[in-house]
Amino acid sequence: MAEVDAVSGESNQPPAAWRYGGDQLKRWRAKADVTREKLASAANYSPETIASMERGVRRPTSRVLDVADELCGAQGMLSAAKPFLDRERFPARAQDFMVREKEATSIWSYEVTYIPGLLQTERYARELIDNHVPPLDEETVNERIAARMERQAILAARKPPVGLSFVLYEAVLRSPQVDAEQLLRLLEAARPRNVVVQVLPFERATPAALMGPMVLLETQDYERFAFTEGSFASELSADPGVVSRVTERLSMIRTQALDPGESARFIERMVDQRE
């Protein structure tokens, strides 16, 4: 999944948990006659950030909920919302995908711009998430980085292991955010027999390979889902027609890419150039 944390437009509609949590925050604050400025000062946020949380367009953070709970005399009613917001550690438009990813027995991924989240180093992930537009608060940045690192347990922890296939367009590796550490991480991730990493060089790319990232998932019940992502919209679909088209495109791209051995040597040469 591309996970474009550097752009806006995560979802057309904020998650219901954000909206409900923000509404309760506003109601308790009004009931206790606590101004937005007072809450903002106590929680070390700007009044504008508190306002966006109350509107539900930004996730109410644990710190704000705890501070508001104390200021408003909510006796734990606001702090109790924190566990229900845990799922929001991921961007809103990616949450359904994350649920399916945990259930997957096989994952095929193709990326044209970013290193897939399952293969990112912490430094690379922070570079993307820190440059989110609009900016995220530090707590949300740290939560999203931690969540992304935790997802990577799927690479080795599952039994039987998940079959993982990643194809990366050469432009992904040429990005200035990709350092030698990240390249070495790709080589390391490809060592287990259940993980395949391939590179699609510039000269082998066809127009179909430039249409954007995509992921194909299959679950233990043989359900198949296709995930496609753009700058301002994402779609997780079980529609057979969509799944078939994504499968066809991914299969074609995998045949055009370098084989795993050639891909490893390609990446190794890039490491030598960076060091």
**Enclosing domain of residue 83:** 16-88
36 in the same domain as 103: no
According to the per-residue pLDDT averaged within each range, which of 3-7, 227-231, 259-263 is highest?
Answer: 259-263
- For residue 42, the domain's CATH number is 1.10.260.40
Choose the final residue of a domain: 39, 73, 88. Answer: 88
Establish if 6 belongs to a structural domain.
Answer: no
Question: What is the predicted pLDDT for the residue at 88?
Answer: 52
- For residue 245, the domain's CATH number is 3.30.870
Choose the final residue of a domain: 50, 69, 88. Answer: 88
Question: What is the predicted pLDDT for the residue at 86?
Answer: 60
190 in the same domain as 81: no
Report the percent of the chain where pLDDT is more than 90.
Answer: 69
102 in the same domain as 49: no
Average pLDDT of 58-86? 91
Q: What is the tally of structural domains in the chain?
A: 2
186 in the same domain as 132: yes
126 in the same domain as 239: yes
Question: Within the chain, where are the H helices?
Answer: 16-31, 36-43, 47-55, 62-72, 95-103, 122-130, 138-151, 170-174, 180-189, 240-256, 260-274
Q: How far is CA 76 from the centre of its chain?
A: 31
Both tokens assigned to 136: 């995220």
Question: What is the predicted pLDDT for the residue at 4?
Answer: 47
Establish if 10 belongs to a structural domain.
Answer: no
115 in the same domain as 82: no
Average pLDDT value over all residues in the chain:
89
Q: How far is CA 261 from the centre of its chain?
A: 28
Would you place residue 26 in the very low, low, confident or very high pLDDT band (cuts 50, 70, 90)? very high
142 in the same domain as 269: yes
Establish if 40 belongs to a structural domain.
Answer: yes
Establish if 8 belongs to a structural domain.
Answer: no
Contact 117, 148 (CB under 8 A): yes
Q: How far apart are CA 42 and CA 61, in angstroms?
A: 13
Beta pairing partners, 211: none
Establish if 263 belongs to a structural domain.
Answer: yes
What residues contact 267, with CB distance under 8 A and at least 6 apart? 173, 183, 186, 187, 197, 199
Neighbouring C-beta atoms of residue 231, cutoff 10 Å: 13
102 in the same domain as 222: yes
Choose the final residue of a domain: 54, 88, 122. Answer: 88
